[in-house]
């Protein structure tokens, strides 16, 4: 008895149009809703074309397309949709050509609507699905899609243009607080997303408070899909050829003669045989006549630079001096050596003047 109720038209209409609404719950087929639902007339036109398209496509898919491969079925959905929409376009051109111009390219694009392909692949072409179930699902899906489409078109025209079916409403000509209801920006595409968001939230609230058994079923579920990656044979061989193995690294180490490098931590901590260079000591000098409550908080007013004594500098220079092999001196070498001596003398003179300058106290009170 339960299976019979689940296959009834009322139950499938309730689930297809409300619990599994193709726009508000499954989030498919948003392109025409966002683009052309600027008024009630255009929304009703596209809804009226979509309803017979999805019904006839699912019926034909259930009857004749079950044994065909998937890639071929997707192409046939397009051809079936065009075969249904083209006569309707001819009738619309004969009745009112302005309607087709308002719908634009989105009217023939209903032949490749993702809602039709989704429900055909999900239900209609399954081998255990009967024609009656496919027909009920197509009607429920078409009704749910059309209701949301028409409702968004009505709201955008009402608040955006201040009209219904092209007829201006009284509040659009009134001033004062009535102007708050006239929001032309809602005619832009983002207005559709705003209304769809509020409608989806309202549908979720209705399902949660009145049909709590379907809350988990109506939730949007996104599952991860594993994507296989195939590598060509040439790329695999190239990657292997560019990979360096451990034996090759050992051979490179032998070639580079890396045996003298430190191998243990103790070897790395051993001091080098280089003379120690004395560091410069910088001590701050306080201001004259200033009382310092705390030594750490007082900012340094001047700095006294203490240089090492000349004997220490001469000792360091002698230790760092590189012995040179005796060789015959030429005129160029004598000139270069004399230039070096002159530079050293100038450097020592500059350093002595700098020491005198730094030892001079410039902070005397004037």
**Where is pLDDT greater, at 365 or 55?**
55
- Per-residue pLDDT band for 64 (boundaries 50, 70, 90) equals very high
Q: What is the pLDDT of residue 352?
A: 79
| Angstrom distance (rounded) from CA 203 to CA 301 | 74
Among 19, 22, 122, which residue's Cα sits nearest to residue 62? 122
Total residues found in the chain within this entry: 366
**Lowest-confidence region among 34-43, 101-110, 158-167, 267-276:** 267-276
**Lowest-confidence region among 36-45, 101-110, 171-180, 248-257:** 248-257
Quote the percentage of the chain above a pLDDT of 90: 35
Q: Are 36 and 158 contacting, i.e. CB atoms less than 8 angstroms apart?
A: no
Q: What is the pLDDT of residue 228?
A: 61
Quote the percentage of the chain above a pLDDT of 70: 61
Q: What is the pLDDT of residue 54?
A: 95
Gyration radius of the chain's alpha carbons: 44
- Per-residue pLDDT band for 298 (boundaries 50, 70, 90) equals very low
Q: What is the pLDDT of residue 130?
A: 92
| Angstrom distance (rounded) from CA 249 to CA 99 | 75
Q: What is the pLDDT of residue 365?
A: 46
Q: Are 77 and 120 contacting, i.e. CB atoms less than 8 angstroms apart?
A: yes
pTM (2 decimals)? Answer: 0.58
Helix (H) or strand (E) holding 105: none
pLDDT at 231 over 90: no
**Where is pLDDT greater, at 39 or 294?**
39
- Per-residue pLDDT band for 309 (boundaries 50, 70, 90) equals low
pLDDT at 171 over 70: no
What mean pLDDT is reported for the chain? 76
Q: What is the pLDDT of residue 52?
A: 94
pLDDT at 225 over 70: no
**Lowest-confidence region among 21-30, 170-179, 242-251:** 242-251
Q: Which residues pair with 303 in a beta bridge?
A: 284
């Amino acid at each position: 008895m339960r299976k019979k109720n689940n296959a009834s038209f009322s139950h499938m209409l309730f689930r297809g149009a409300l619990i599994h609404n193709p726009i508000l719950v499954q989030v498919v087929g948003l392109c025409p809703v966002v683009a052309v639902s600027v008024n009630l007339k255009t929304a009703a036109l596209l809804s009226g074309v979509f309803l017979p398209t999805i019904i006839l496509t699912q019926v034909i898919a259930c009857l004749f397309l079950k044994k065909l491969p998937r890639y071929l079925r997707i192409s046939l959905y397009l051809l079936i949709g065009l075969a249904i929409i083209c006569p309707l376009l001819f009738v619309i051109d004969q009745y009112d050509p302005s309607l087709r111009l308002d719908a634009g390219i989105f009217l023939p694009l209903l032949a490749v609507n993702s809602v039709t392909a989704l429900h055909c692949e999900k239900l209609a072409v399954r081998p255990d699905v009967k024609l009656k179930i496919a027909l009920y699902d197509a009607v429920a899906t078409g009704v749910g899609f059309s209701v949301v489409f028409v409702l968004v078109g009505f709201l955008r025209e009402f608040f955006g243009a201040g009209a219904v079916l092209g007829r201006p409403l009284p509040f659009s000509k009134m001033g004062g607080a009535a102007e708050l209801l006239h929001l032309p920006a809602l005619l832009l595409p983002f207005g559709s997303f705003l209304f769809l968001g509020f409608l989806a939230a309202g549908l979720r609230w209705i399902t949660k408070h009145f049909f709590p058994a379907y809350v988990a079923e109506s939730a949007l579920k996104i599952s991860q899909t594993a994507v296989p990656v195939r590598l060509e044979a040439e790329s695999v061989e190239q990657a292997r050829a560019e990979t360096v193995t451990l034996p090759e690294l050992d051979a490179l180490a032998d070639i580079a003669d890396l045996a003298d490098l430190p191998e243990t931590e103790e070897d790395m901590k051993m001091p080098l045989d280089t003379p120690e260079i004395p560091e410069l000591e910088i001590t701050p000098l306080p201001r004259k006549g200033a009382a310092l409550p705390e030594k750490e908080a007082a900012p340094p007013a001047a700095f006294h630079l203490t240089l090492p004594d000349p004997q220490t500098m001469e000792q360091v220079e002698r230790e760092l001096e590189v012995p040179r092999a005796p060789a015959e001196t030429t005129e160029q070498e004598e000139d270069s050596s004399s230039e070096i001596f002159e530079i050293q003398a100038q450097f020592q003179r500059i350093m002595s003047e700098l020491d005198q300058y730094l030892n001079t106290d410039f902070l005397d009170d004037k």
